[in-house]
């Protein structure tokens, strides 16, 4: 299912990675942030919307990254180049990520930034929408958000252009160690 997801997500312009442990994930995130020259200047910062991934993470490991903030306000998110958030599920047949984004911070980090890094528990890949909706329901989740690839438009002469109002780059990191069945 991971392979199908990867094919579908890549086809719509997402980047897909898979790592075993949180440490590896963290290394990958740090290198991504460094690669994007994230620093403490307007337009160059990063925001991280909290989630289970951060439980038990040594904050010291992230100290060396100036400009990264765990407090996601609209001002910070609007100033951020990179937004990191967790997405609970991956839907294989369309290459989509899904999460209950009732918390505004999750939406701000994944919609106002130029680059969205999404952390997903590898165990939570489902085949399709029908199986997804057996795991997440509007009865318990007020804002169910699907993200499939980066923001796109073809409104000018039908030419596909990436990055309109949402992120122009979507980096998906599956983490085996992250616990499934959340959301």
Partner 1 sequence: MKKEFKASINRALNDANLTGALGKFSEAYKVNRAKAYEGMDFEALRSTVAEAKSKAACHLDEVADVFKANAEALGAKVFRTRDPQEVKRYILQLAKDKGVRSVVKSKSMATEEIHLNRALQEEGISVAETDLGEWIIQLAGQTPSHMVMPAIHMTKEEVAEIFSKEVDERLTTDIPRLVKVARNELRPKFLAADMGISGGNIAVAETGSIVLVTNEGNARLVTSLPKIHVALIGVEKLVEKFESVAPILDALPRSATAQLLTSYVSIITGPTPNDDGSQKELHIILMDNRRTEMAQDPKFKQALQCIRCGSCLNVCPIFRLVGGHVFGSIYTGGIGTILTAWFDELKKSEDIQGLCIQCGNCKEVCPGKLDIPEMIMEIRRRLVLEKGQPLLQKAIFGVVNNRRLFHGMLRAASVAAKPFSSAGFIRHLPLFLADLTDGRSLPAIAEKPFRDIFPEIEQPQGKEKAVFYAGCLIDFAYPETGVALVKLLNKAGIEVVFPEEQTCCGAPALYNGAYEVAAQNAIDNIEVLLQHEAQYVVSACPTCTVALAHEFGKTLESLGQTEWMEKAQELAAKTVDLSTLVKRLTDGGRLSFEEGERLPKITYHDSCHLKRTLKVSEEPRELLKKAGYQLEEMFECDMCCGMGGSYSMKLPEISAPILKRKLQNIKETGAPVVAMDCPGCVMQIRGGFDQQGGGVKVKHTAELLAERLKG
Which parts of this chain interact with partner 1 (CB under 8 A)? 8, 12, 72-74, 78, 93-96, 102-105, 107-108, 111-112, 128-130, 133, 137-139, 141-159, 161, 163-167
Distance CA 101, CA 13 (A): 22
| 3, containing H or E segment | helix 2-11
CB of 182 to partner 1, least distance (A): 18
Distance CA 88, CA 102 (A): 13
Pick between residue 21 and residue 127 the one whose CB is nearest to partner 1.
127
CB of 147 to partner 1, least distance (A): 6
Pick between residue 26 and residue 84 the one whose CB is nearest to partner 1.
84
CB of 93 to partner 1, least distance (A): 7
Whose tokens are 């160690």? That residue is: 177
Pick between residue 105 and residue 120 the one whose CB is nearest to partner 1.
105
- 97 neighbors 89 (Cβ within 8 angstroms): yes
* DSSP-assigned beta bridge partners for residue 126: 91
Whose tokens are 């007020």? That residue is: 142
CB of 34 to partner 1, least distance (A): 25
């Amino acid at each position: 299912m991971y392979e199908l997801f990867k094919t579908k997500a890549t086809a719509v312009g997402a980047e897909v990675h898979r790592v075993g442990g949180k440490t590896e994930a963290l290394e990958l995130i740090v290198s991504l942030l460094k690669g994007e020259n994230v620093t403490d200047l307007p337009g160059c910062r990063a925001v991280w919307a909290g989630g289970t991934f951060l439980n038990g993470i040594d904050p010291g490991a992230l100290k060396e990254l100036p400009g990264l903030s765990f407090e996601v306000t609209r001002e910070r998110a609007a100033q951020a180049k990179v937004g990191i958030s967790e997405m609970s599920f991956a839907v294989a047949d369309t290459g989509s990520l899904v999460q209950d984004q009732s918390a505004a911070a999750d939406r701000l980090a994944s919609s106002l930034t130029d680059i969205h890094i999404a952390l997903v528990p590898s165990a939570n890949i489902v085949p399709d929408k029908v199986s997804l909706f057996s795991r997440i329901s509007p009865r318990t989740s007020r804002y169910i958000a699907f993200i499939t690839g980066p923001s796109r438009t073809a409104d000018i002469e039908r030419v596909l252009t990436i990055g309109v109002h949402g992120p122009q780059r979507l980096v998906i990191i599956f983490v085996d160690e992250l616990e499934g069945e959340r959301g």
